[in-house]
Amino acid sequence: MEVRPGDPRYESLLRGDNHRFVGRPDEVRVVGSTAQVVQAVQDAVRDGRRIGVRSGGHCFENFTADPEIRLLLDLSQLDAVGYDPSRRAFEVQPGATLGRVYRTLFKGWGVTVPAGGCPEVGAGGHLVGGGYGPLSRRYGSVVDHLYGVEVVVVDRNGAARAVVATREPDDPHRDLWWAHTGGGGGNFGVVTRYWLRSSQADAEARAAAPDPRRLLPPAPAEILEAVVEWTWDPAKTTERAVTTLIRNFCTWHERHSDPGSPYDALYAILQLAHQDAGTFSMVVQIDAGVPHAADLVDEFVAHVNTGTGLDLGGGSATAPWLYVMTWPGNGESGNLVTRRYKGKAGYLKRSFTDAQLATIHRHLTNGTGNAACGMLIVGYGGQVRTVDPGATAVAQRDVVMKAVYHSVWAAEQDDAANLAWVRELYRDVHRDTGGVPVPGEVSDGSYINYPDVDLADPAWNTSGVPWHTLYYKDNYPRLQRVKARWDPRDVFRHALSIELPR
């Protein structure tokens, strides 16, 4: 389906989740099959038109809204999820939301994948960027369960075709599969199909009649969730109190993020809102079926609050797993009509330094922030750390947390103030390494699914370390070789795309 300017559907199809960026392509091509994707890509190459590809539309930057994009490929109708007996793996099309993936896998087979907690995010970009979520400490990154991909690529002669690549050792296209295990979207072609199967289940899959219920991790029956809240009170939330709390959260993850830890089922997000919000909070989730689950949560919460002198609010409840993972409000925030935001990220090997903690407190209490400014510190590690950095394109394996810096706002006139707040926080936290999380004792670069064009801007990255090292570390040259083989004409590109080798 071709939607062009003047069509009443056109304006509605332009916007992704971040309303800071709205493109004006010649057409939006809504596709429903691999063959239609091949045709759309071929048309764009033939006409010399820049192409952009969107599945869920949750990109932090303007990768699908660049003014140079003339054909926007909308994959939202490619949303099937099911079991493929021919591949002996679960098939997920890129337009399927994570909520749809969870519901289908659970209702049909009682299984799941360790993907993200935002149910409206599209699988297309989330999987290829090395997605993670509440079950990652227990089961790894989602790409640790990626068996294969179907990708529409363009060869050196400009011919578009669909290629299937798997992790089978003798697959001649295996390098293309590897690039999709964390290489990021919009780099090599258009993914039209993912196949999911845990690597530990490969032997099971080779059986005469494999049981699909054994090919992916089992989903928990119920989740125990605790929401802890603290009030911003000048008399109590002093720099010492707040930095102690953050440090406690971080050091707990330093000590309890080894593979197989008794705490690997516990997932926590510390949500540090600016003081104008009045409160800040922490969400803790655990499989309610784990022995002594409630005690583990209580112990963790007590540790985080130790020595702060702060009063705790909030409560806890147990709910069915599918409800927790697919409730429409889970992980989604901001004004749904005029949603504008800026996000930045960094991997953490250990706690922030004392100087960094003081910087975070200073920005959370300054006069330039607002209630929607803040940062998240997210638990990670565990099973993620069992995979060699080169086995997938996700190079950051020896990490225990992710930090996310953000601001969300409604009106265009507030762009400058909100962008300045989050950029200055990030720069100041990483002041000793040129304003960015250079891999070292504390930091380990950034996460490509939270893309940030500032990392390629010398005004904000004065480290001398290029953006691609921050995202991919030593895996970048290999990604470039894959790019040269499968996208030699650089058809698929954006502000932070893999560059062709020089």
What residue spans define the domains of the chain? 1-219, 222-474
Domain pair 1-219 / 222-474, same fold: no
226: DSSP letter: E
Q: Using the predicted structure, report yes or no on whether residue 428 has a pLDDT greater than 80.
A: yes
Q: How far is CA 447 from the centre of its chain?
A: 7
Q: Using the predicted structure, report yes or no on whether residue 345 has a pLDDT greater than 60.
A: yes
Across the chain, what does the average pLDDT equal?
Answer: 96
Please tell me the number of Cα atoms within 13 Å of 250 on its side-chain side. Answer: 23
pLDDT band at 394 (very low <50, low <70, confident <90, very high): very high
User: What pLDDT score was predicted for residue 334?
Assistant: 47
Q: Using the predicted structure, report yes or no on whether residue 330 has a pLDDT greater than 70.
A: no
Q: Using the predicted structure, report yes or no on whether residue 337 has a pLDDT greater than 80.
A: no
pLDDT, tens digit, for every residue of 53-100?
A: 999 999 999 999 999 999 999 999 999 999 999 999 999 999 999 999
User: What pLDDT score was predicted for residue 329?
Assistant: 63
286: DSSP letter: E
pLDDT band at 208 (very low <50, low <70, confident <90, very high): confident
Q: Using the predicted structure, report yes or no on whether residue 364 has a pLDDT greater than 70.
A: yes
Q: Evaluate whether 208 touches 475 at the Cβ level (below 8 Å).
A: no
Spatial distance between the Cα atoms of 446 and 109, rounded to a whole number of angstroms:
34
SS3 279: strand
User: What pLDDT score was predicted for residue 332?
Assistant: 56
In sequence order, what are the residues at sequence separation of 6 or more whose Cβ sits closer than 8 angstroms to the Cβ of residue 469? 439, 445, 476
Q: Using the predicted structure, report yes or no on whether residue 336 has a pLDDT greater than 60.
A: no
User: What pLDDT score was predicted for residue 335?
Assistant: 47
- Give burial (CB, 10 Å; 0-12/13-18/19+) of 15: middle
Class of domain 222-474: alpha beta
Q: Evaluate whether 135 touches 155 at the Cβ level (below 8 Å).
A: no
386: DSSP letter: G
The average pLDDT across 279-299 equals 98
- Residue type at 183? G
Q: Evaluate whether 361 touches 237 at the Cβ level (below 8 Å).
A: no
Spatial distance between the Cα atoms of 399 and 380, rounded to a whole number of angstroms:
7
Class of domain 1-219: alpha beta
pLDDT band at 193 (very low <50, low <70, confident <90, very high): very high
